[in-house]
Amino acid sequence: MAEKVLRIGHSPDPDDAFMFYGLASGKVKLPGYGIEHVTEDIQSLNERALTGNLEVTAISAHAYPHVADKYFIMATGASMGEGYGPIIVSKKYSSLEELRGKVVGTPGKLTTANLLFKIFTDGIHHEDMPFDQIIDAILKDKVAAGLLIHEGQLTYKDAGLKKILDFGELWQKETNSLPLPLGLDVVRRDLGEKFARDISRALRDSIRYGYDHQDESIPYALQFGRGIDSNIGSKFVKMYVNDRTIDMGEEGRQALQLLFEKAFERKLIAQLPDVVLY
């Protein structure tokens, strides 16, 4: 019998590539399925998820309330910051107060970084733009500051920029040290709960394979690093692929629920989804 094709969406970033290496390389298999990897930036994957386009996909945590009718949350595959997360940086300014009345460059509308900005910065103006154009926009004075995700969180000093705020640090203080949920992996509801658990288990095995075979998985992941050096790339992978990525656990679930509650209270999402893990 021919295998069914399972399309898995993930971003072309070192951390996602590392997670999926076991599956991408065929070293970890999901019986009965051939896997087709769809690699797009996270905002594009968020938009695909709005229509239930892919069977399994990475999305921003912020996007989940918009797709909760279509997808289950997997316990595996989450990106969670432990005292670190998206950061606001600037060339000229040093505090949030100085940014009032000015414009901050922010990544895509449905990114979790964008949601955190709206929850915690009390109405500072912002302009959405592709995440990889934000540092350049700051340097060219198109924006007063920028909200950085991905490897920009580690390389901003090289561009002569200074940090104003780390949302991971702020979240830890605000929540009594809960992790900061940033990205999720989700599986389409029409495939059923058993399948959701099966794919979650396969991804867990893929992550473990990556950690057990870093001589293979790290070089593979660094192909997706947009030119960053191997030390920075390896550090970034290990920041966002950690024990909570293997299983976010009860603390991860609580953190996700709290993020949604804060967003709902501020009318940034229309409904409060149930946070059930598979």
Contact 113, 147 (CB under 8 A): yes
Contact 232, 157 (CB under 8 A): no
Q: What is the pLDDT averaged over residues 25-35?
A: 91
Q: What is the pLDDT averaged over residues 69-97?
A: 95
Q: Which fold has domain 4-80+180-265?
A: D-Maltodextrin-Binding Protein; domain 2 (3.40.190)
The reply to whether 62 belongs to the active site is no
Distance of CA 228 to the CA centre of its chain: 19
Whole-prediction pTM = 0.90
pLDDT of residue 89: 97
The pLDDT of residue 255 is above 90: yes
Residue 5 CB-density burial (10 A; 0-12 exposed, 13-18 middle, 19+ buried): exposed
The pLDDT of residue 270 is above 60: yes
The pLDDT of residue 178 is above 90: yes
Taking domain 87-174, whether its CATH number is 3.40.190.10 is answered by yes
pLDDT of residue 235: 78
Tokens of 52: 């239930």
pLDDT of residue 231: 76
CA angle 14, 146, 129 (to 5 degrees): 75
Tokens of 51: 């229509």
Q: If you ran DSSP here, which 8-state letter would residue 251 be given? A: H
pLDDT of residue 261: 97
Residue range(s) in the chain whose domain bears CATH number 3.40.190.10: 4-80+180-265, 87-174
Tokens of 202: 């396969």
Q: For residue 93, give the amino acid letter.
A: Y
The pLDDT of residue 169 is above 70: yes
Higher pLDDT, 277 or 238: 277
The pLDDT of residue 246 is above 70: yes
| Element holding 158 (H helix, E strand) | none
Neighbour count for residue 55 (Cβ, 10 Å)? 23
Task: Give me the count of residues in the chain.
Answer: 278
The pLDDT of residue 228 is above 70: no
Collect all residues with Cβ–Cβ distance below 8 Å to 86 and sequence separation of at least 6.
112, 113, 116, 117, 147, 148, 149, 153, 166, 167, 168, 182
The pLDDT of residue 226 is above 70: no
How far is CA 264 from each of CA 181, 269, 272, rounded to the nearest angstrom?
16, 5, 6
- 267 dihedral zone (left: phi>0; alpha: psi -120 to 50; beta): left
Mean pLDDT taken over the chain: 92
Higher pLDDT, 155 or 263: 263
SS percent in the chain: helix, strand, coil, step 5:
45, 20, 35
Which residue among the candidates 10, 66, 126, 150 is catalytic per the annotation? 150
The pLDDT of residue 52 is above 70: yes
Contact 115, 63 (CB under 8 A): no
- Give the gyration radius of the chain's Cα atoms: 18
The dihedral formed by the CA atoms of 214, 149, 39 and 235, expressed in degrees to the nearest 10 = -10
Distance between CA 133 and CA 174 in Å, rounded? 30
pLDDT of residue 2: 59
Q: What is the pLDDT averaged over residues 209-235?
A: 82
Q: How far apart are the first and last CA of the chain?
A: 28
Higher pLDDT, 5 or 225: 5
